[in-house]
Structure 1
Amino acid sequence: MSSVFRFTPTRITASLLLVLTSNGAMAEADLLQRSTLSGDWGGLRHQLEDDGVKFSADYSGETAYNADGGLHRSARYSQNIKLGVQFDLSRLYGVDNAGKVQLSINDRRGHSASEELVGNRLPIQENFGGLYTRLTELSYERSFTPALNIKLGYMAMGNDLGGLDSGILCNFMNAGFCGHPLNMSGGSGWTNYPNARLGARVKYDLSPAWQVRVAAFNVDPESNGNSSRAWKLGPKHTTGTVVPVELVYKLRGELPGEYKLGYYYDSSNVKRIGSDDEVAGRGGHYLLIDQAVWNDPALAGRSLHAFGQYSASSKAASPFTKWYGTGVMLYQPFAGRPRDTLSLGYGRAVPNPRSWDVLEDAAAGSDREFPNIDNAEQLIELSYGYQATPWLNLRPDVQYIIEPGAFSGADIDNALVVGLQVKASF
């Protein structure tokens, strides 16, 4: 199977062109309007979905060029391919409220601009990491009452917790914004896509505006990024259980908003940073906000949203203890572009002082001068999402990385990175 996924940028482009130019009967207007590149498969796709089987396939490619500062002048490309199928058991078997089964497979390839070109901690390409084919989800979900929904199986806990449901943060290419505050997974057993673990998640609606989410997931650090565990649902070495609790408030009305307040606790025993002693349990908390602040009275759908992120994690064992993020996003920046977006964000990642002390001690022990740099990596990112067709999004992107060596203790010049993200649904 892996050979199917080993695309290069040239092969991706060639494959797209082949589909676009084949079958002379394919109407150009239909191609530009359809929701997926491969269309309805002559009606088969729609029929299968009506019968309870829904297929999905998504590609993202991210190219980043380091134009100034950092370590090297060059470009790096990474890609992510996701295949999924969802089984609606009610439709398949004619049983009311039987639930749904989700199966997802993921493949990642490429090279990291952060590791190879800039030397910073926050991944410039959010789709880099775990460069192999793996099972990313095999789960069962069912609503037991209108207010109670339960999901269990093998899945990434970050799919349901720790991020904004609106998806506003993935209008950026840097993983510092897109997804979840990285100190969650860096300082506990929290797993974000594509890393998956055995677990269960509960959602309960307290009211139309308020919801509580609780989950419990197995912690298995030895399986993270381990290709030999790509198809194994059971843990290799369980160290504990991570339990997140999240309170969600969704503001309705002319200026809608989404607010999340969360706490998580990992029962694993881990080494304390800078010591051989172990610390029992790691925890953290976070606040996430997406709030509409302006609607254009003259153009329906045109609005300005502001977002904010704050996350703090265990000082005993987390590589960085705090993350701050804020920014704005303009939906429909131009009248003729109803599905385009314009986004600007600022983020600040603060390394653990214990980690900083370890780096200083190591420099002193080897008689090296320790650089005088700020104790934080900062990110400014500007991106434009161009929705070329319903199934194709092109995102030119600019990132300015301040103090790239804050986590490594290296004296690295601020870096200017330009990039392009391509997303396609098949």
Structure 2
Amino acid sequence: MPSAIRITPTLLLALASSTALADGDLMTRSTLTGDWGGLRHQLEEDGVKFTGDYSGETAYNAHGGLHRSARYSQNLKLGVQFDLSKLYGLDNGGKVQLTINDRRGNSASEDLVGNRLPIQENFGGLYTRLTELSYERTLFTPALNVKLGYMAMGNDLGGLDSGILCNFMNAGFCGHPLNMSGGSGWTNYPNAHLGVRVKYDLSPSWQLRVAAFNVDPESNGNSSRAWHLGPKHTTGTVVPVELVYKLQGELPGEYKLGYYYDSSDVKRIGSDEEVSGRGGHYLLVDQAVWNDQGLPGRSLHAFGQYSASSKAASPFTRWYGAGVVLYKPFAGRPKDTVALGYGRAVPNPRSRDVLEDAAFNAGEQFPDIDSAEQLVELSYGYQATPWLNLRPDVQYIIEPGAFSGKDIDNALVVGLQVKATF
């Protein structure tokens, strides 16, 4: 396995300084490392595109939870895309994507608060791994796009294409409803499996997405399987179907309705019996509700999330999320954002029964806690340069012990997310 790659803010500054003179103004170029003296642009014209980004998230528990302290986590992603049409002069040759990912750090949720929804969306799977090796092209008609290989199904399904949800730092918002991956073989970045994804444009506004992915719990999150494309122990296949509607016009919107089914046999929660298959459904919405006619680019978007999963096998059965994002809050800050969101994760009643029974058998009193973990998050995205975003963040966690059956005080967490594009 390749040695781990560690990127820190100090190293980022060193990289920027080393390329500042060669590639022009550090503050205005689109990426941290610039155009490499023109080589980067030339390679992309020839069919080889390099990408990379870093995110660092620091969270401090200021009140409640388990402990007063801070935790830091980071994610590094490096990729290269090969355009076979450009490289070999092919007609519709397609593209090959190779991506490598590395994560390091510590969890504020596990160490400081004791809640279920990760306060830092980039925490988890702390090792270097292959996250994608895929081939993508249109097939038969420009309306039909096919992608197959080793990849995370959540890259193309289960989230909003607009990226509105990653104006937040908590994984409950940024990415996908977590009961999808928690209660089935669904995999979100950076966890990947073998699979195929199909997109078909029914019209300019409507699109159908269907996929099939191998389910292999023994490889998911296992560092010894970081570079193995093939499964270790297949339990079934997960098949998501998603209908997408893109509303055009002055107030654009995005609507997704999805269903997924995992054919794996798994143990029923609170029982030694197995259940054959598990599934769920979801609805995701991003709708512009206001545009400032006097200041182009300033707009207010509202979003909503609802997902429900198998009561037999999912740790939490429902997720509700809603909020607003203001783009261009100030005339002089065209790329900044202000985001406010509320989320509610409902534990499976079967899981709660298991916790209550365990407390009773141990002669302990089960705490009088709410039926759900709740989250309120406020963030400000400050686009310092085209390649650097700084996001101060405040999260208030209500009933952090709802999933563990522990009486934990509500927690107030302040944080900072740093994102840089190489």
Q: TM-score higher than 0.5 here?
A: yes
Q: Which residue of 2 aligns with 1:403?
A: 399
Q: Which residue of 1 aligns with 2:35?
A: 40
Equivalent residue for 1:349, pick from 331, 345, 348 = 345
Distance 1:417 1:250 in 2: 35
Alignment of 1:162-177 (within 5 A): 162-177=158-173
Does residue 274 of structure 1 match 2:270?
yes
Q: Which runs of 5+ in 2 are unaligned?
A: none
TM-aligned CA deviation for residue 15 of structure 1: 1.6
Q: Which residue of 1 aligns with 2:61?
A: 66
Alignment of 1:20-419 (within 5 A): 20-22=16-18, 25-26=21-22, 30-144=25-139, 145-419=141-415
User: Cα 1:25–1:262, aligned 2, differ >3 Å: closer, same or farther?
Assistant: closer
Q: What CA deviation, in whole Å up to 9, does each residue of 1:386-426 have, x standing for no partner?
A: 00001000000000000000000000000000000000011
TM-score normalised according to structure 1 size? 0.97
Preserved CA contact (<8 Å) 2:19 2:34: no
Distance 2:128 2:219 in 1: 14
Aligned residues: 421
After TM superposition, which residue ranges in structure 1, 4 or more long, deviate above 6 angstroms? Answer: none
Q: Secondary structure at the match of 2:142?
A: coil
Q: What CA deviation, in whole Å up to 9, does each residue of 1:244-290 have, x standing for no partner?
A: 00000000000000000000000000000000000000000000000
Q: Secondary structure at the match of 1:166?
A: coil
Q: Secondary structure at the match of 2:378?
A: strand
One-letter amino acid of the structure 2 residue matched with residue 383 of structure 1: S
One-letter amino acid of the structure 2 residue matched with residue 187 of structure 1: G
TM-aligned CA deviation for residue 146 of structure 1: 1.4
TM-aligned CA deviation for residue 309 of structure 1: 0.1
Distance 2:16 2:229 in 1: 38
Q: Secondary structure at the match of 1:236?
A: coil
Distance 1:395 1:352 in 2: 33
Distance 2:53 2:23 in 1: 23
TM-aligned CA deviation for residue 31 of structure 1: 1.2
User: Cα 1:24–1:319, aligned 2, differ >3 Å: closer, same or farther?
Assistant: closer
TM-aligned CA deviation for residue 26 of structure 1: 4.9
One-letter amino acid of the structure 2 residue matched with residue 66 of structure 1: N
Distance 1:219 1:23 in 2: 43
TM-score normalised according to structure 2 size? 0.98
One-letter amino acid of the structure 2 residue matched with residue 122 of structure 1: L
Does residue 425 of structure 1 match 2:421?
yes
Preserved CA contact (<8 Å) 2:23 2:34: no
Q: Which runs of 5+ in 1 are unaligned?
A: none
Does residue 6 of structure 1 match 2:10?
no
TM-aligned CA deviation for residue 302 of structure 1: 0.2
User: Cα 1:126–1:23, aligned 2, differ >3 Å: closer, same or farther?
Assistant: closer
Distance 2:191 2:135 in 1: 18
Preserved CA contact (<8 Å) 2:327 2:335: yes
Q: What CA deviation, in whole Å up to 9, does each residue of 1:164-189 have, x standing for no partner?
A: 00000001000000000000000000
Distance 2:398 2:12 in 1: 37
Q: Secondary structure at the match of 1:98?
A: coil
TM-aligned CA deviation for residue 25 of structure 1: 3.5
